[in-house]
Structure 1
Amino acid sequence: MQHVTRRALLLGGALALGAAGAGGPALADAAARGTDRDRTAERSAFVRLGDPAPFVDIGALAARTTMQDLVLVPENGWLFVSQAVAGSNDSSETTVINRVRVSDGVLLDSMQLVDGGHGLGFEVQLRSGQPWVWMTWHGSDDDVVRLRYVPGSYRYAEADDRLGLERIAFQHKEGRDREAVYHFDAAGQVAVERHFHFSAGAEATSETYYRRSVSALLTGSSTSRGSVTLPATPPTVQGFATVGDSLFRLVGATATNGVQDARDPMAIEQHSWTTGRLVAKRQYPDLARDGDARWKDGIIEPQGLGVRRTADGGISLLLGATTGGTGRREHQVLEIPTTGSA
């Protein structure tokens, strides 16, 4: 097995190379060579994503609601998993962030952030051993904040005193609503923010991802390290992660009656931050099926994508899956190893 390094790209098993970028005959030779170099770099770093294997079952999570996202904190053997429950009014949701012990799937504790939002997209940063959560708090005019993880239930008005809430200095709102869209890259140095017009629903046909320095965000810098605009609805985006030059998206609609939507199947896409192209896509039609090749109640929803660094420096992807109907849901996290090299 060959593992991907920090500079390498990850690739789904079935290659689906995107179309070449636009450019006419008048394109300068130097620019053309630069484009060629970009594409050569894409191809030379390809590795493949393997088959999903169980990472941890989380039986203690609330059976009434699905997982939304996940973040692994290997230094402490913790997995943080978000869910959403009813908020203080009909138009709001409360974010629940659960701390799970990876070794046995035991739920250690939970933190509820009243009217925090849907829980899709958050990050956990260790500061002197204390976990701090980055997220967008919807009930605070969508402010991006950083706060201590402390078990209990909290409202925004009390979070300053009880959770040490800090409003991130740089706020990128673009005049429209957006989800709690922060994830760090595998090295923990770059924050990736996802912008999507959620209230537009199916009419929102694209979304944009930006890379920014974590340290610069805290000082208010607006400098971007690049952006990628991708199609959406379809596909239904369920999570995202960044490793080096690769932006991965977990996509796919909820499957019901044991059947996936052929127009929006479960898959992992790989996009290049350098070129903006879709360079690979692998579908996972049998994700989280049981021993009888079924999903509980015929239902599955993929939810959340994260990164795991192995002891030898390798990288694998972690993805969440919720099966079963309301009140009967089961949650598990699967690991997709990286294997091979082109």
Structure 2
Amino acid sequence: MDDDRTREFSRRTLFLAGGGIGVAALLGSLAAPGAAADADAAGMDAAGMRLAGVDPAAVPASRRFDLTQPSHDLFRHVRLHNRTVQQSFAFDNVNRRLFVAQRRDGSASGAGSLCISRLDFSGRLLGHMYLTGFGHGVSFGVDASGTTSRLWTEIEANGNGYGRRLARFDFVSGRTLTNSSSHLTRLPAVAGASEHTCTIDPVHRRLIIRYHTSAGKRFAVYALDQVTGSTLGPKLADVAQPSLGSPAPVFQGYAAYGRYVYLLTGTSYADSPTLNSRVTSVDLQTGAIRQGPVITRAGSTLSFREPEGMGVYRTAAGQDRLFLGFASGATGDRRSNLFYKNVLI
């Protein structure tokens, strides 16, 4: 299980230098022996039916993060531009930027209005955007377009506050966008989906879409560089989100790395005095749980402590990190807290 420990090293040094093990982690990642593939189940859905057009070799074996290893601090108790609970976060791995999404102060929970804060890696606020009528903010992605950070988010919030489709746009501090803005590049919907969120695997350059159907939640994988405003490109994988227990735990975010998608669940101490935040890895070829759910004690001494968001980042030295986010603080003064795991197996 995770440690709740604060590192004495410089946050910037940790992010850029990789804590002294980045080269080894990178070389190991290139070797990518991974776990053995479940060849019989590859390219099939949860019911064992082969999915049309999905290549079972399109998401090859890779290493994965060991969820039982300790978590390390990036920062704690950071103020965002607004004072609501953070919902998710994402990194621009090229321009070395961090973005955090939260519901806009004063907006209704179902309105889909978000505030995106840009932070440096010590937690200093560097800018913000407002998004009107976009979605809940469970997850979003960022990639680089030159020196500009391009955000990939849900848009067109439905009656529950979740986006009906996806769009991408440039981050411009101080700008407010509506879901009909000309600054958006709208993406095609996944066939049969009524709600969409996404994340980006920045190491393997993939777009992962979590979408809702009448049968439940699913994850679809696409090559990021083949996605345009008119097509998502060939679908590399498509699996059902597996059951994580009964009753189903509260879903709080996801991130992808190689062959695996990582899920974060749990509630705040206000809703459960018992620590119930868990992380799980799921094979994107088979839909099977690879590890977990594993209790995480990252930030266990925080006040409130609601799990909120996941992300993947590769340091300049080549160390890959799986990040977990938690909200802390009192109502009207919620804070952002980020932790990471860096052991690959």
By the TM > 0.5 criterion, same fold? yes
User: For the residues of structure 2 that align with 1:133 and 1:304, how far apart are their CA atoms?
Assistant: 16
Q: 1:268 to 1:85 in 2, by over 3 A?
A: same
Cα shift at 1:305: 0.7
Which residue does 2:289 correspond to in 1? 278
Work out whether residues 199 and 207 of structure 2, in 8 Å CA contact, stay in contact via their aligned partners in 1.
yes
Residue 256 of structure 1: aligned partner? 270
Structure 1 equivalent of residue 315 of structure 2: 310
Aligned-partner Cα distance in 2 for 1:252–1:228: 22
What SS class does the counterpart of residue 29 from structure 2 fall into? coil
Alignment match, 2:220 = 210
Give CA deviations for 1:119-149 in whole Å, capped at 9, x if unaligned.
1221112112111111111249734211111
- 1:121 is aligned, of 132, 139, 144, to 139
The 8 Å contact of residues 240 and 247 in structure 1, kept in 2 or not, is answered as: yes
Q: Aligned in 2, Cα 1:192/1:256: closer, same or farther, shift over 3 Å?
A: same
Offset at 1:333? 0.6
Find the counterpart in structure 1 of residue 208 from structure 2: 192
Deviation at 1:260, TM superposition (A): 2.7
Query: How far, CA to CA, are the matches of 1:173 and 1:88 in structure 2?
Result: 31
Deviation of 1:284 after TM superposition, in Å, equals: 3.3
* Superposition CA RMSD, Å: 3.3
- Matches of residues 226-237 of structure 1 in structure 2 within 5 Å? 226-230=237-241, 231=243, 234-237=248-251
Query: Offset at 1:216?
Result: 2.9
Correspondent of 1:107 among 101, 119, 125: 125
Structure-2 change in CA distance of 1:243 and 1:9 (3 Å)? farther
Query: What one-letter code is carried by the residue in structure 2 that aligns with 1:66?
Result: V
Alignment pair present for 1:67 and 2:89: no
Mark the structure with the bigger radius of gyration.
1
Alignment of 1:121-160 (within 5 A): 121-139=139-157, 142-156=164-178, 159-160=181-182
Q: Map of 1:325-340 to 2, 5 A cutoff?
A: 325-338=330-343
Mapped to 1, the partners of 2:315 and 2:97 lie a distance apart of 15
Change (3 A) 1:253 1:173: farther
User: Kindly tell me: are residues 91 and 243 of structure 1, through their superposed partners in 2, closer, same or farther at Cα, counting changes over 3 Å?
Assistant: closer
Change (3 A) 1:338 1:182: same
SS in 2 for 1:48: coil
Deviation readout 1:3-54 (Å, 9 max, x if unpaired): 251564889xxxxxx9x969xxxxxxxxxxxxxxx9xx97x95662421111
- Counterpart residue identity of residue 195, structure 1: Y
8 Å CA contact 2:260, 2:284 repeated in 1: yes
**Of Structure 1 and Structure 2, which has the larger fraction of its residues in helix?**
1
Task: Tell me the CA shift for residue 236 of structure 1.
Answer: 1.9
For residues 74 and 46 of structure 1, the distance between their equivalents in structure 2, rounded to whole angstroms, comes to 19
| Residue of structure 1 equivalent to 2:116 | 97
Tell me the TM-score normalized by structure 2: 0.74
**Structure 2 CA distance for aligned equivalents of residues 328 and 100 of structure 1:** 17
| Contact 2:139–2:199 (8 Å) recurs in 1 | yes
Give me the whole-angstrom Cα distance separating, in 2, the residues matched to 1:311 and 1:165: 30
1:92 aligned partner, one-letter code: A
CA distance in 2, matches of 1:288, 1:272: 27
Q: Which amino acid aligns with 1:207?
A: K
Measured in 1, the distance between the counterparts of 2:250 and 2:41 equals 25
Is residue 261–residue 282 contact of structure 2 (8 Å, CA) maintained in 1? yes
**CA–CA distance in structure 2, aligned partners of residues 188 and 45 of structure 1:** 12
Q: Please point out which of 253, 264, 279 is paired with 1:268.
A: 279
1:246 and 2:260 correspond:
yes
Looking at structure 2, the residues matched to 279 and 139 of structure 1 have their Cα atoms a distance apart, in angstroms, of 33
2:198 match: 182
Normalised to the residue count of structure 1, the TM-score between the two structures is 0.74
Distance 1:312 1:10 in 2: 22
- Hey, what does 2:329 align to over in structure 1? 324
Question: For the residues of structure 2 that align with 1:214 and 1:310, how far apart are their CA atoms?
Answer: 20
Residues 46 and 157 of structure 1: CA distance in aligned 2, closer, same or farther (over 3 Å):
closer
Structure 2: which 5+ runs fail to align? 1-20, 43-56
- Structure-1 separation of matches of 2:34 and 2:293: 11
Q: Once the 2 structures are TM-superposed, how far is the Cα of residue 213 of structure 1 from its aligned partner?
A: 1.8
Checking the alignment, whether the CA contact within 8 Å between 1:139 and 1:156 is kept in structure 2 is no
Cα distance change on mapping 1:234 and 1:240 into 2, 3 Å: same
CA contact (8 A) 1:254 1:302 kept: yes
Please, which runs of 5 or more residues in structure 1 have no aligned partner?
Answer: 12-17, 23-37, 198-203
**Is the 8 Å Cα contact of residues 5 and 313 (structure 1) preserved in structure 2?**
no
**CA contact 2:82–2:105 (8 Å) conserved in 1:** no
Deviation for aligned residue 1:75: 3.5
